[in-house]
Amino acid sequence: MTDEPTGELLVPILAKDTGPAREWAAAARVDQVAAPPDLSQGESHLNVTRTFCFVDLSGFTAYTRTKGPHAAVLLLGEFRRITRNIA
């Protein structure tokens, strides 16, 4: 086994009854690569320090069911923008 990147695109696997998650996944425009802005395209192979945050968004399922998957995706985009500015 190697630590080298495989270049595979990870796709969420969703069970049949996932509530709004399936609709959210279909509505989301997922970044395939989120490279640090200070690296040029030719340096994407370099090791960089990453920060990860696992967050439980209280009430998100209810919000998605009420407002719909597209509104939820917009809200997640705003959440991502804010958290990336902090990190």
For the segment 26-73, what is each residue's pLDDT rounded down to a tens digit? 666 655 455 556 666 665 566 667 777 778 888 988 998 899 888 988
Q: In the predicted model, what is the mean pLDDT of residues 18-30?
A: 64
**More reliable by pLDDT, 69 or 3:** 69
Half-sphere exposure of 26 (CA within 13 A, CB side): 9
**More reliable by pLDDT, 29 or 3:** 29
SS3 content of the chain, % helix, strand, coil (to 5): 40, 0, 60
Position 46 scores a pLDDT of 66
**More reliable by pLDDT, 28 or 12:** 28
